[in-house]
Amino acid sequence: MLYCGIILYFLLLQRLITCSNVTETISSSQDPLSIEESIAKGKSFRERFVQSKNEFKFSSNNTIEPSDKNIELWNADQFLQIWNPIVISRIWKNETYRDAGISLPCGKDLTHYMMGISRKTNWALKMMDADGKYIWGIFSGNKYWVGAADQCRKMEKEFIEWQQDKKLHQNKELPPFRVSMNSINLMLDILKPGLNETHNIILGLCLPIVCDTKDVERLLYFAQNQSSVNLPLRFTIDHIRNLSKDVRNSKVVPKPLSEALLSFSLLVNMSKLCSLNVGENTLAPIHGLRFYTILWIILGHTCLLVNYISDREMFRTVAEENFLYQTIGNGTYSVDTFFFISGCLVAFLYYRTMTNERIRDKKMIKGCHGQVLQFLGMIWYRYFRLTPVYLFMIGLVQVSMKWYQDHSMIEASALDYKTCEKFWWRHALYINTYFDLDDRCMTWSWYLANDTQFYIVGIIILIIGASFLPVAAFIGAFLLIASWITTALITLNTNHVPSIQDPFAHYESLYDKPWTRIGPYLIGMVTGWYLFKIDCKANMNKAVVVIGWSISLTTMASIIYGVHGTTFGPILSALYTTLSLSGWAISLEWILIACVTGYGGVVTHILSWKYLYPISRLTYCTYLVHYALIRAIVLDVESSWHLTYGFMVISTYYKNTIDYIISTKS
């Protein structure tokens, strides 16, 4: 027992002596680096615990140099250290950047950075903290030492904001220069015996923004050569990427091909599409007219097509008795709104463009030859602006309808899977309305054919009007009156009677022919010319404004809801069919003029709401897509739908949302 007690006594004594020596080492060591320095240096607690106070000594020039007593450390953080700004700051002088071959702007900012490290400033700590460093798993393939790029970018953003407004970020310590993240791709060679390996490393460093890739490369090689620890590793830089937003390919002069390719840029197109600004040559209320009109069209087509698979075939008959259903039944006037808008914009933009002296003098050739070239140029511009997406949609409809023909339980009445493949060229030439309905593809595309034909007629009138305005006015008036007479004769000859029950009666003779629908387009051209002449400014007294709005709204309400519960005779049918389209366009003319000139009141705010601009720009693609999407939904169902008013409202809402999403992708 005595022998065992003596052994335990000596073991306990040896343990106490060991702890005493360790405590003495800790208490006698110099004050270590500040917390932020220790973090940046990557020292582990065990390393700082063991390292003695004699690791560093001061030289005569007040820089810290490693002493001869520096012990060999095999901690992984120290062993795999590539970039240590704290060590570099100790040997950095005002002229050090010249010795390293670093440029003057970069050298000055690096000197400020090293001084910030020496003074232990918060912004320098954040920059060091954003640097990439070894964490773990290099031998398992972890090569990404990327650091905190977001933190570096945040410092850059705050500095720019502070430059613009000195009141911002007053309570923050910001670097005295702009910063950017650099991605360095390097090959790290580990030269330790028995562990000779080469690893590809991606290192992220937050450095002054003025330091280009050459400066960063020279800085890293300088740091490697000045390493205070003789580590068995070397690195070779493959390439460096400066991730600053200031990096631009500004020296490349855009060429015609480059500019053409940029027209397909998603970034450029989305920025233009989502812009809340309108140019000086744009009439803001037209954006609202476009938006609400396309909603009206989608509502009408949704109700008509969804009723095709309803389990209540009499639902539409019951709905037609509702007074408000006239809004859907007479939705055909929505297309005339589009015709009016097109004519107005063509005339307004044409005359606005012609007043630009630079364009008129430098780009327009005088004489008849010049007018022919101008005509062909305008046709060319419109054709290649609208046709590509149109042809793409024709192909998509042909393929999808072929699939539904072979797989859908519901059989489509349209034969687009045949006609699109056979007669697509008629659509490409915009002459499809001159052929039988059974030989057409995308029946709703009749509007595009008519609008293109109206455009051709319109620019002929405008070119003539630029030199001979009375002649152009006579041609326009003649075409309008001829359209009225033709429509009246066709109405009487076909015994057409306007009704909600069959809004598309005599479709091929009355509904989709250009000679019956050109009226709103011509009235729109007059409106555009008038707004150009008055420079969108007018002085109207209160009585004129009240009378104008009263007549306009009354006319529109009578056209839409006047047919309800009424049966017209031949003469009234001819008058209504002939004049209702032009009456609708004249009412729109007053609304647009009043809103543009400042007499629209709340209507101006509704039509010119800036958040409608991006949606309005999608109108063309939405029109192409919407009917095909409704039909696809109808053909995709495996059973009939039970229709109610609530169901129609909800389905139309979701349908509109999907239409705009798809048109954005188009």
Residue in 329, 512, 341, 322 with CA at minimum distance from that of residue 436? 512
| Range 515-541 burial, b when 16+ CB lie within 10 A, else e | ebbbbbbbbbbbbbbbbbeeebeeeee
The backbone region for 391, taken as left when phi is positive above 0, alpha when psi lies in -120 to 50, beta otherwise, is: alpha
Rounded average pLDDT over 576-604: 94
Q: Is the pLDDT of residue 154 over 60?
A: yes
Q: Is the pLDDT of residue 46 over 50?
A: no
Is residue 61 very low, low, confident or very high in pLDDT (cuts 50, 70, 90)?
Answer: very low
Q: Is the pLDDT of residue 641 over 80?
A: no
Tell me the helices (H) and strands (E) count for the chain, helix number first.
28, 6
Q: Is the pLDDT of residue 405 over 60?
A: yes
| Range 420-440 burial, b when 16+ CB lie within 10 A, else e | beebbebbeebebbeeeeeeb
Rounded average pLDDT over 552-575: 88
Where is pLDDT greater, at 273 or 386? 386
Task: Give the DSSP letter string of 415-431.
Answer: -HHHHHHHHHHHHHTT-
pLDDT at residue 484, as a whole number: 96
DSSP three-state, residue 434:
helix
pLDDT at residue 291, as a whole number: 93
Residue 413 burial (10 A CB sphere; 0-12, 13-18, 19+): exposed
Where is pLDDT greater, at 304 or 524? 524
Q: Is the pLDDT of residue 500 over 50?
A: yes
> Angle at which helices 469-494 and 514-533 pack, to 10 degrees?
150
Where is pLDDT greater, at 325 or 436? 436
* DSSP 8-state code for residue 227: -
Q: Is the pLDDT of residue 89 over 80?
A: yes
Q: What percent of the chain has pLDDT over 70?
A: 72
Highest mean pLDDT (candidates 6-15, 555-564, 644-653) = 555-564
Taking the C-alpha atoms of residue 382 and residue 360, their distance in angstroms, rounded to an integer, is: 20
Task: Give the DSSP letter string of 526-566.
Answer: HHHHHHHHTTT-----HHHHHHHHHHHHHHHHHHHHTTTT-
Lowest-confidence region among 371-385, 469-483, 553-567, 624-638: 624-638
pLDDT at residue 515, as a whole number: 93
Q: Which two tokens mark 545?
A: 């404004």
Taking the C-alpha atoms of residue 526 and residue 6, their distance in angstroms, rounded to an integer, is: 119
Query: Beta-carbon neighbour count of residue 306 at 10 Å?
Result: 22
pTM higher than the cut 0.75: no
pLDDT at residue 21, as a whole number: 47
pLDDT at residue 650, as a whole number: 58
Taking the C-alpha atoms of residue 470 and residue 447, their distance in angstroms, rounded to an integer, is: 30
Residue in 218, 222, 207, 229 with CA at minimum distance from that of residue 42? 229
Where is pLDDT greater, at 405 or 363? 405
Q: Is the pLDDT of residue 416 over 70?
A: yes
pLDDT at residue 558, as a whole number: 93
Average pLDDT of the chain to the nearest whole number? 78
Where is pLDDT greater, at 146 or 229? 146
pLDDT at residue 647, as a whole number: 57
Q: Is the pLDDT of residue 510 over 80?
A: yes
> Mind listing the pLDDT tens digit for each residue in 370-403?
788 889 999 999 999 999 999 999 999 999 988 8
Residue in 287, 274, 334 with CA at minimum distance from that of residue 609? 287
Where is pLDDT greater, at 523 or 169? 523
* Residues in Cβ contact with 351 at an 8 Å cutoff, skipping those fewer than 6 apart: 462, 466, 528, 529, 532
8 Å CB contact between 276 and 612:
no
Task: Give the DSSP letter string of 462-499.
Answer: HHHHHH-HHHHHHHHHHHHHHHHHHHHHHHHHHT----
Q: Is the pLDDT of residue 57 over 50?
A: no
> Mind listing the pLDDT tens digit for each residue in 29-40?
444 344 344 434
> Angle at which helices 367-407 and 619-636 pack, to 10 degrees?
20
Instruction: Please give the helix or strand (H or E) that residue 118 lies within, else none.
Output: helix 104-118
8 Å CB contact between 582 and 516:
no
Where is pLDDT greater, at 256 or 653? 256
433 phi/psi in degrees, rounded to 5: -75, -10
pLDDT at residue 428, as a whole number: 94
Is residue 531 very low, low, confident or very high in pLDDT (cuts 50, 70, 90)?
Answer: very high
Where is pLDDT greater, at 241 or 171? 241
Taking the C-alpha atoms of residue 568 and residue 115, their distance in angstroms, rounded to an integer, is: 93
Lowest-confidence region among 156-165, 251-260, 607-616: 251-260
Q: Which two tokens mark 495?
A: 């015994």
8 Å CB contact between 404 and 635:
yes
Q: Is the pLDDT of residue 115 over 70?
A: yes
Is residue 26 very low, low, confident or very high in pLDDT (cuts 50, 70, 90)?
Answer: very low
